[in-house]
Amino acid sequence: MERHFDEELSGLKSRLLKMSALVEEVISRSVKALVERKAELVEEVIKNDEVINMLEIEIDELCLKLLALYQPAAVDLRFVCSAMKINNELERIGDQAVNIAERAREVIKEPLLKPLIDIPRMGLLAQKMVKDAIDALVNKDDVLAGEVCRRDDEVDSLNNQIFRELLTYMIEDPKTITRAVELILVGRHLERIADHATNISEDVIYFLKGKNIKHHLEDQ
Amino acid sequence: MERHFDEELSGLKSRLLKMSALVEEVISRSVKALVERKAELVEEVIKNDEVINMLEIEIDELCLKLLALYQPAAVDLRFVCSAMKINNELERIGDQAVNIAERAREVIKEPLLKPLIDIPRMGLLAQKMVKDAIDALVNKDDVLAGEVCRRDDEVDSLNNQIFRELLTYMIEDPKTITRAVELILVGRHLERIADHATNISEDVIYFLKGKNIKHHLEDQ
């Protein structure tokens, strides 16, 4: 029984890693579609979302099966429950990447508004947060998880900067408005991805320390 | 043991109902703050978010306790796992209401852009979706849950309409840009609330029918 449970648990971990790798890939491709103006990447991101959605259901069902069959306790119970939550966060990150790809599809139909510098930077930061949050889970590294939470502020302020800059474009030339609004929304989507990565890190800390740090990180 | 579990389960249900009532209230107040230009409501929404956040943690811990102590099976296991997810969705809805309140705080500093008709309509729709999703859970009503999922399209198209209308304002008069962008973001936040209500309904259907309808609702 014990051995079976351990096998199932390692199957769960490897599926979460696969899910995370897929999600990191769609973040990267959606931003690339926008920056390099490649419509074929938009369609790739949308197609890959199907795979991510199916994997989410598979992981969810595996978690329920583990709870039902093995009735894990203590740290194992926390791991399975955290895995359910993290799985859900990863799927939502995939949805945000689809949103970015859909924005990219509109933006690249029109002339370039400006060279995009901060958006790809923000994309890389957000993607790294997702990667590190999952690494923190796999390596049981609560220090790394805490660091990911703190990086959220950096993404937020970059998003604010993008927002303000695009406002000035719109005010100077109304012809830029639709494109600028699309880019503002891309900034928001990336900010949401960073939020989800922060949620994952909080779940990791909960799993590792049995302590809920949500909503009062500043007290840490 | 059985009786204790049933008592704990009904405690869980009443906490979820309380959480939902709080969340419906902040949606309503955040939109009211914007429409009626009341700064004091902004602060109320932000203050109430604390209460919602603490209740989320309480519900989460109760779910884990139920899993650990009683190792529920079948429909009870599905209920506890669904409750964890629904709890999380409700908390995120609360966050969206805070976002709306923060937008309201900016918007009401400037002169009225236009009378707001569609945004409060969208607010009412989104709030009703949350209420009905939780009613579907409590009354085990999968038909109502399915209906909530379908109403998501209505909110999406209303959001699209708001978006397009505000674009025309910005193009005609650049002085309206910052306010119009804030209102576009409010539309987005309301759309997200409707998405969360849809997620809750999907969780309700999963709990009731043991069938995952996520990602392929159109096949139903």
Residues 82-111 of A with CB under 8 A from B: 84-85, 88
For B157, half-sphere exposure in the C-beta direction (CA atoms, 13 angstrom radius) is: 4
Confidence of residue B214 (pLDDT cuts 50, 70, 90): confident
Which of B53, B73, B177 minimises the CB distance to A167? B177
DSSP states of chain A: -HHHHHHHHHHHHHHHHHHHHHHHHHHHHHHHHHHTT-HHHHHHHHHHHHHHHHHHHHHHHHHHHHHHHH---HHHHHHHHHHHHHHHHHHHHHHHHHHHHHHHHHHTTS---S---HHHHHHHHHHHHHHHHHHHHHTT-HHHHHHHHHHHHHHHHHHHHHHHHHHHHHHH-GGGHHHHHHHHHHHHHHHHHHHHHHHHHHHHHHHHHS---TT-GGG-
Cβ of A53 within 8 Å of Cβ of B215? The answer is yes
Distance from CA of A167 to the nearest CA of B (A): 7
A215 interfaces chain B, CB cutoff of 8 Å:
yes
Cβ of A71 within 8 Å of Cβ of B74? The answer is no
B168 interfaces chain A, CB cutoff of 8 Å:
no
A218 pLDDT more than 50: no
Instruction: Specify the pLDDT at position B216.
Output: 60
Give tens-digit pLDDT for B142-170. 999 999 999 999 999 999 999 999 999 99
Instruction: Specify the pLDDT at position A220.
Output: 40
Q: Does domain B2-219 have CATH number 3.30.420.40?
A: no
Give tens-digit pLDDT for B116-139. 999 999 999 999 999 999 999 999
The reported pTM is 0.90
Report chain A's C-alpha Rg in angstroms.
Answer: 19
Q: What is the mean pLDDT of chain A?
A: 94
Distance from CA of A169 to the nearest CA of B (A): 10
Higher confidence at residue B10 or residue A219?
A: B10
Cβ-in-10-Å burial (0-12, 13-18, 19+) of B219 comes to exposed
Give tens-digit pLDDT for B26-79. 999 999 999 999 999 999 999 999 999 999 999 999 999 999 999 999 899 999
Q: What is the ipTM of this complex?
A: 0.84
A90 pLDDT more than 90: yes
